[in-house]
Amino acid sequence: MKQFIRDYLTFNKRERNGLFVLIVIIILLIAYLCFSDKFIKPEIVDFSKFENEIEVFNKSIENSKDSLKSEKKYSFQNEASNEFESNNNSKSKPAEYFNFNPNNLPDKDWERLGLSEKQIHTIKNYESKGGKFHSKEDVKKMYCIPEKQYLSLEPFIQIKDSEAHNNFESKPAEHFNFNPNNLPDKDWERLGMSEKQIHTIKNYESKGGKFHSKEDVKKMYCIPEKQYLSLEPYIQIPSDKNSPADSKAENFKSESIIVDINSADTLQLMKVKGIGAFYAKSIIKYRNLLGGFAAKEQLMEMWKFDSIKFDKIKKNIIVDPTEIKKIHINTCTAAELKHPYLKWNAANAIVNYRSKHGKYKTLQEIKKTDLVDDETYRKIVPYLTLE
């Protein structure tokens, strides 16, 4: 609270003079507003003519609204009648029910079943994009077929077993020991995989996917659980870098790294366990804003970087104070003195004090401005120099 009062309610001599003049002007304006009525008589204005014009204008608006309502009512009745006629014209034809397979059914047969041209067009568009009806439920999902119409068609839908099978249906399997990583297509076929299953697995691998354990193979949605259980005894994946032993070695390596946060780039910072890409970028951004770190503890001034996070990494970081960018207080402008630890008015006060009293002989002299207290001085002094 004291710091807040000092920052915003402490003024130098020039600012106090300006504030005094401003208060005098405000007092004079208030006095003028209070006593001006006694010396200036208000002019009486006759508004009767203006009120009559407003009344005439309001009546004209009401008349126009009434005419618009009558026009809208007439147009609405016409639109309703037209819509009713169009609905009658677009009624579906009487249905002729027979057993049918919805896959690639000719347009004429869809018409016999009572579907309109628009419904048939929607179904054919679905099929042209590779869509297929594997079960009655797939027909029900077609938004162009209302539920009532579907219920009348449902007893007559007949889909062949070969079409009803899932696209991931497997072929007869030949079992042998195999490593699923980069396994050739022919070997997948020998294991009983369909073309679509193989395509799904290869697509997963092309995007950087890798099978580190049998569980990763089980997670592939294209492999049914029954098929996985028949393959599981034959899956053999050699240990890789992600094995527990290697991860322990990697953890030991990251714990032994020492990084200078005043010179390290993002990649070097990310080698420290506990610093990811987000924190690495945040550290460099805050370092550039400060002009370098004077102490490790300054990391806790960053957003979302608490003491718990700091305790985890403090053994792996160091600070080289020679990397700090110093500000020359005897030659800098107020803009060049801009710093996260200095308010704008404190920076102005430091420059104004120098212009009135000459160059600073010691850094402690900036405390004479009254806007730099002990806490501010402690934070900012590592970033200042007289030379």
Both structure tokens of 10: 């402490």
Alpha-carbon gap, residue 114 to 91, rounded angstroms: 10
Alpha-carbon gap, residue 49 to 95, rounded angstroms: 75
Q: Amino acid identity, residue 311?
A: D
With beta carbons less than 8 A apart as the criterion, state whether 191 and 174 touch: yes
Coil, helix or strand at residue 172: coil
How much is the pLDDT for 51? Answer: 78
How much is the pLDDT for 10? Answer: 72
By CB neighbour count within 10 A (0-12 exposed, 13-18 middle, 19+ buried), where does 109 fall?
Answer: middle
Q: Place 131 in a pLDDT band, splitting at 50, 70 and 90.
A: confident
Both structure tokens of 121: 């067009």
Once rounded to an integer, what is the mean pLDDT over residues 31-47?
A: 73
Does the structure show a pLDDT above 80 at 191? yes
With beta carbons less than 8 A apart as the criterion, state whether 369 and 353 touch: yes
Q: Amino acid identity, residue 85?
A: E
Q: Over the stretch 306-321, which tens digit does the pLDDT of each residue have?
A: 889 899 999 999 999 8
With beta carbons less than 8 A apart as the criterion, state whether 202 and 145 touch: no
With beta carbons less than 8 A apart as the criterion, state whether 346 and 371 touch: yes
Question: Mean pLDDT score of the chain, rounded to an integer?
Answer: 82
With beta carbons less than 8 A apart as the criterion, state whether 372 and 352 touch: no
CATH fold label, 244-323: DNA polymerase; domain 1 (1.10.150)
Cα angle 237-243-245, degrees, rounded to a multiple of 5: 135
Model pTM?
0.39
- Name which residue leads in pLDDT, 242 or 10: 10
The residues, any chain, with a CB within 8 Å of residue 305's CB and separated by 6 or more, are 279, 282, 299
